Structure 1
């Protein structure tokens, strides 16, 4: 529960009593590399806290090509939040790119707590604000930054990313081809 506490503390300070209400909803799970957390086309019931490992959210087009929407490293909340809020099937899949340890919380139970507890309601509001700001930043990055700048930004956020996941996943996340990524890396490392 220490990692869950760290996530809660990132957003706002809530009492130990409120924290314990959230902790009572959480369940530990471990998944292997390649295991699915949540699949596109399903109606998810849970949100997840990634404690160890690396995970991704992705979309698969009608031709079977994957597009990585996001990469997740600890300690981070993940899951199909939009689908949970709308109570619809998710457009995105979430899976593990390495062995992962997660906390699972039933979304409806958490929302019920937000209605009963003002502190937890405030926490949820702060979480939604952060999700919005991250999405806005991602749209900005894709609109304004070139591929090299996006790569350097990911490297700053996840310094050892090349040792964690395959290059084609990194390229997909950056919205470039693996060949483009190779050229970017070669250009950067030849300057050193």
Structure 2
């Protein structure tokens, strides 16, 4: 894929997801480079610096915590039209506390996090995209916390099924179970009861 084609594709995606006019995308698109990643590619590991910002044009990425014994806890699934970053690590300079891994072959656009952030200070379009990204991250995190704290297993499953039904077609059941805060056996039981 040519860089120009990639910039056009990125512009189209951002126009749809962040409501930015296509003409105003050029400064933003110039900050990103296209990257193809096969399924199960780590974008960053736990403990590493995470100075990159990714935009998902096609594919699916999971964010997860891992214990020393290898047990993993899924934090988020990010799909087309979403940004992927380790915000706290990127903002504080601390190592990442979770990893990012592609679940499918992905077409991503990658930018240096600090360059993007610095450019957004003086550019109202970039400021709007940055605000859109932060708001989306905040809303997703708040909704997930409420789901885990306030709902029982069946209600968590039903809520995720209603809000993001495509995940059940794209994500292995054991990852969904982890995301919902239950074992795969418990999720199978809940699914069986829901039928």
Common fold by TM > 0.5: yes
Q: Is the alpha carbon distance of 1:175 and 1:56 closer, same or farther for their aligned partners in structure 2, counting shifts above 3 Å? A: same
Classify the secondary structure of the residue corresponding to 2:47. Answer: coil
CA distance in 2, matches of 1:21, 1:15: 11
- Deviations along 1:70-90, one digit per CA (max 9) or x if unpaired, are 112212111211111112111
Secondary structure of the corresponding residue to residue 83 of structure 2: strand
Q: Does 1:182 align with 2:173?
A: no
1:141 to 139, 142, 147: 147
Give per-residue Cα distances to partners, 1:91-120, cap 9 Å, x unaligned. Answer: 010001111111111111111211222332
What CA distance in whole angstroms lies between the structure 1 residues aligned with 2:156 and 2:54? Answer: 26
Segment drifting more, 115-124 vs 96-105: 115-124
Q: 2:100 aligns with which of 80, 94, 99?
A: 94
Contact 2:10 2:29 in 1 (8 A): no
| RMSD (Å) for aligned C-alpha atoms | 1.9
Unaligned runs of 5+ residues in structure 1 are none
Q: Which residue of 1 aligns with 2:4?
A: none
Q: CA deviation at 1:63?
A: 2.4
Structure 2: segments with no counterpart, 5+ residues:
1-7
Alignment of 1:8-47 (within 5 A): 9-13=16-20, 16-17=23-24, 19-47=25-53
Aligned twin of 1:155? 161
1:13 offset after TM fit, Å? Answer: 3.9
State which of 122, 126, 144 in structure 2 corresponds to 1:120: 126
Task: Identify if the C-alpha distance between structure 1 residues 141 and 164 changes in structure 2 by more than 3 Å, giving closer, same or farther.
Answer: same
Q: Number of residue pairs matched?
A: 188
The aligned counterpart of 2:5 is none
CA contact (8 A) 2:59 2:104 kept: yes
- Structure 2 counterpart of 1:103: 109
